[in-house]
Amino acid sequence: MNQDTTKIPQATAKRLPLYYRFIKNLYSSGKQRVSSKELSEAVKVDSATIRRDFSYFGALGKKGYGYNVNYLLSFFRKTLDQDALTKVVLIGVGNLGTAFLNYNFIKNNNTKIEMAFEVDESKVGTQVGDVPVFHLDDLEEKLEDQNIEVAILTVPASSAQNITDRLVSSKVKGILNFTPARLTVPDHIRIHHIDLAVELQSLVYFLKHYSEDDTEMSQDGIISE
Amino acid sequence: MNQDTTKIPQATAKRLPLYYRFIKNLYSSGKQRVSSKELSEAVKVDSATIRRDFSYFGALGKKGYGYNVNYLLSFFRKTLDQDALTKVVLIGVGNLGTAFLNYNFIKNNNTKIEMAFEVDESKVGTQVGDVPVFHLDDLEEKLEDQNIEVAILTVPASSAQNITDRLVSSKVKGILNFTPARLTVPDHIRIHHIDLAVELQSLVYFLKHYSEDDTEMSQDGIISE
């Protein structure tokens, strides 16, 4: 791939997994080509945005023809490194953590939760969604000989920073933070933060302050201004 | 309030609940004023963005002084309608739904989950996190005399569209969709979509394609390009 994908806008990059999933579905259903309008209706992102996103990767489509599904699929597979599996660790096997473990990520993705950690002794030693649950005390030891770069944090906010510090000392490079805590990390660690309360309050705010046809909003959590 | 807050960018609007929470914490701890730098470190949004966000609301701060915490608090409380309670319904009391019900929204927010719906008979008739769980068959009947405008959807993807259609027929105006399904709704319904697999894959993509100091990323799920 000669395209320098590191230069695409991050908002575009964030939509790639979404495009990939639907292109895979199209491919499975035997579809050979797709228009930006059809894609738009499926992924709920306006077609101008789709065309702009795709343009960063060069001329993927042809006017009046649309996009070749097979080409798109192999393109996105390469771009998203679908052939390389990323190992993930999950900390905190509460309700939210259990939801993650039962969610079959690998079906649509190149990520796999390898192991989970918990302090509740009744869960330690069990398997949840085929993922082994270890005691949090053994975190460093278990991570040592694994090549795990991503952690999902579903612990109480009060222990989030302490566990983050321990993850940072290991090889973890990215954290998906579901706690309300704002974490302090070195610059080389990337954190994506998803706060359920903020998401809910944000929806309420938009309902009250933005009329229905005021602005187009994509469904993928990215708001187009 | 004379400010026309409907004209602020949606990305700014999405950060308001976050600002509000930390300003409330500052207020509780007795702090009288705060600089944009201090706010920045607390909420992990760069201070230029904070100053720009605040500027949409008029001159809230003074150079060399920072922001008056008391003023900010009452301003955000008004802007976010903290004095009006928004009633929420949750559909699907699985692991993710249970996590929501146990999450004490009202502590930091003006939202309250009033009731939950489920098809699993073992959960119907119980209370989870003080929220009563009803059978999904009774959805229309139970919603009829309630003023519930927001729904949280934590059901299997296969039933998401059908339940959405039923919610749309009631008074629900906004849906927080946690299923992987892309929902089709009339224009006057607002959907915010949070897809756990897409969030994870997106983090992995950024780890592989963006070097640590390439771009500043805020932790609130909004990516600054």
pTM for the whole structure: 0.72
Task: Give B-chain residues touching A9 at CB under 8 angstroms.
Answer: 225
In the predicted model, residues of chain A with pLDDT beneath 50 are 1-6, 212-225
Contacts of B75 (CB under 8 A, 6+ apart): B57, B60
Return the bridge partners of B61, or none: B67
Through-space distance between the first and last CA atoms of chain B, rounded to whole angstroms: 32
The H-assigned helical ranges of chain B are 10-28, 36-43, 47-55, 69-79, 95-102, 105-108, 139-144, 157-169, 196-209
**pLDDT recorded at residue B131:** 94
Chain B contact present for A158, CB below 8 A: no
Mutate which of A12, A104, A178, A209 to test chain B, going by most B C-beta atoms within 10 A? A209
**CATH 2.60.40.420 matches A86-198:** no
A92 belongs to an annotated ligand binding site: yes
| CA–CA separation, B5 and B67 (whole Å) | 19
Q: Do A174 and B207 touch (CB under 8 A)?
A: yes
| CA–CA separation, A220 and A212 (whole Å) | 17
Other beta carbons within 10 Å of B150 = 23
Chain A contact present for B21, CB below 8 A: yes
**pLDDT recorded at residue A208:** 78
Residue of A nearest to B18 (CA): A198
pLDDT tens string A179-212: 988 899 998 899 988 888 888 888 888 887 765 4
Alpha-carbon distance values, B203 to A80, A152, B42, B219 (Å): 11, 11, 22, 12
Burial-class residue A199 by CB neighbours within 10 Å (0-12, 13-18, 19+): buried
Each residue's pLDDT, cut to its tens digit, for chain B (225 residues) gives 444 445 677 778 778 888 888 888 888 888 888 888 888 888 888 888 888 888 877 656 677 778 888 888 888 887 777 667 889 999 999 999 999 898 766 555 678 899 999 999 999 999 998 899 999 999 999 998 888 999 999 999 899 999 999 999 998 999 999 998 889 999 889 998 888 888 888 888 888 776 544 444 434 433 332
Task: Give B-chain residues touching A43 at CB under 8 angstroms.
Answer: 182
B162 belongs to an annotated ligand binding site: no
Q: How far is A137 from chain B (nearest CA, A)?
A: 24
pLDDT tens string B51-101: 888 887 765 667 777 888 888 888 888 777 766 788 999 999 999 999 989
Domain A10-79 CATH (choose: 1.10.10.10, 1.10.3720.10, 3.30.465.10, 3.50.50.100): 1.10.10.10
Do the two domains A10-79 and A86-198 of this chain adopt the same fold? no
Give the amino acid at B175.
I
Chain A contact present for B202, CB below 8 A: yes
Task: Give B-chain residues touching A112 at CB under 8 angstroms.
Answer: none
Q: Give residue limits of the domains in chain B.
A: 10-79, 86-198
Chain B contact present for A42, CB below 8 A: yes
**pLDDT recorded at residue B86:** 86
